[in-house]
Amino acid sequence: MTRKTTAAPRKTSTAAAARVPAPKRPTPADLDTAHFAELLDERIGQAREKIAAVVADIREVTLAAKDTPADDEHDPEGSTVSVERNNEMALLAAGEESLIELLDARVRLDEGAYGVCEMCGNAIPSERLEIRPEARFCVTCAAAARRR
Ligand SMILES: [Zn+2]
């Protein structure tokens, strides 16, 4: 007995092709890249310092918790310590996230693909980059993304 294998017709989809990221747009020629390199390096340094400070705090809180005998049920300090540590961990995560954004922007600057909105392709005004040198989107696209 022969069993016919009827292969389902392969659907050719164009969706995959559409998902290919657009080539990186070049840094606007009039952008003061040397200035933004300096600004980014400064922010990267600050972000690293902030992370180091938070890590030091976490170590302190953790050591303090170790010094006091663990008695979660009767020790009201126990919950305070864990709340404090959770806050520090959230700060650490936020700090790391912004450091990554800054480092990413620094790479884009080196690659010559900086200061251009990744959504609409327009140049991001340097006044915005001055405040948020890690910005990936122009104000309009950033606002649109937040609304989603
Ligand atoms: Zn845009």
Q: Give the predicted TM-score (pTM) of the model.
A: 0.74
Distance from the alpha carbon of residue 115 to the mean position of ligand 1, in angstroms: 11
Q: Does the residue 127 lie in any domain?
A: no
CA distance 45 to 133: 14
CA distance 46 to 101: 13
Residue 116, helix vs strand vs coil: strand
Which value, in Å, is the radius of gyration of the alpha carbons in the chain?
25
Q: Does the residue 36 lie in any domain?
A: yes
Q: Does the residue 89 lie in any domain?
A: yes
Q: Does the residue 57 lie in any domain?
A: yes
One pLDDT digit (tens) per residue for the chain, 148 residues? 556 555 555 555 455 455 555 567 899 999 999 999 999 999 999 999 999 999 999 999 888 878 776 555 555 556 777 888 899 999 999 999 999 999 999 999 999 999 999 999 999 999 999 999 999 999 999 999 888 7
Q: Which structural domain range is residue 99 located in?
A: 29-113
Q: Does the residue 71 lie in any domain?
A: yes
Q: Does the residue 80 lie in any domain?
A: yes
Which residues surround the ion ligand 1 when the cut-off is CB under 5 Å? 117, 119-120, 138, 141
Distance from the alpha carbon of residue 36 to the mean position of ligand 1, in angstroms: 19
Closest CA to 52 of 85, 81, 88, 18: 88
Distance from the alpha carbon of residue 116 to the mean position of ligand 1, in angstroms: 8
Distance from the alpha carbon of residue 134 to the mean position of ligand 1, in angstroms: 14
What digits encode the pLDDT tens for the residues 29-62? 999 999 999 999 999 999 999 999 999 999 998 8
Q: Does the residue 103 lie in any domain?
A: yes
Contact 26, 123 (CB under 8 A): no
Domain count, the chain: 1
Residue 37, helix vs strand vs coil: helix
Q: Does the residue 104 lie in any domain?
A: yes
What digits encode the pLDDT tens for the residues 118-127? 999 999 999 9
CA distance 36 to 42: 10
